[in-house]
Amino acid sequence: MSQTLFHLAFPVTDITQTKAYYVDGLGCIPGRETPLALILNLYGHQLVAHVTKESLTRQRTIYPRHFGLIFTQEQDWEDLLERAQQQQLFFREEPKNRFVGSPLEHRTFFLEDPFYNLIEIKYYRHPEAIFGSYEYSQIGDRA
């Protein structure tokens, strides 16, 4: 049986700082590394941090660009939340519940790494809402 993995490349300005955040902070497993790039295993998915000399700037809001994880077990979501709090990672948005009482209900928080990359961590109360629940139009917090 084949397993498909997700790959995401993102910009950073310093590999040492990247390792401190993603390995020590988030608990990623480090992979191959050069002075210009680092492969990270984030819960079985491949992240690649690429050093850039371009100026990195903070997004005004969490939209449009962010990436993250959707946990299928609430305890896993809580465990990563606790780790992020213990590691004193920067919360761009504190943990909250969205769409409470609806089939789209989920728990979420946003982290911001030292390079302004935004990471959203979610847990849906009703797994069918991850890709389905087409009769509902809400996506995110934008009006």
Is 105 in contact with 76 (CB distance < 8 Å)?
A: no
How distant is the alpha carbon of residue 43 from its chain centre? 11
Taken in order 73, 97, 23, 83, is the CA torsion positive or negative?
negative
Structure token pair of residue 7: 């790959």
Which residues are bridge partners to 30 per DSSP? 40
Residues with Cβ < 8 Å from 75, sequence gap 6 or more?
A: none
Is 95 in contact with 111 (CB distance < 8 Å)?
A: no
pLDDT of the residue at 1: 61
Residue 60 half-sphere exposure toward CB, CA atoms < 13 A: 0
Residue ranges and CATH numbers for the domains of the chain are 1-53 (3.10.180.10), 61-142 (3.10.180.10)
pLDDT of the residue at 23: 98
Instruction: Write out pLDDT tens, residues 4-60.
Output: 999 999 999 999 999 999 999 999 999 999 999 999 999 999 999 999 999 999 999
pTM of the model: 0.92
Name which residue leads in pLDDT, 67 or 139. 67
Distance CA 97, CA 109 (A): 9
Of 70, 69, 33, whose CA–CA distance to 48 is shortest?
33
pLDDT of the residue at 143: 53
Structure token pair of residue 113: 């790494």
Residue 123 pLDDT level (bands cut at 50, 70, 90): very high
Instruction: Write out pLDDT tens, residues 63-117.
Output: 999 999 999 999 999 999 999 999 999 999 999 999 999 999 999 999 999 999 9
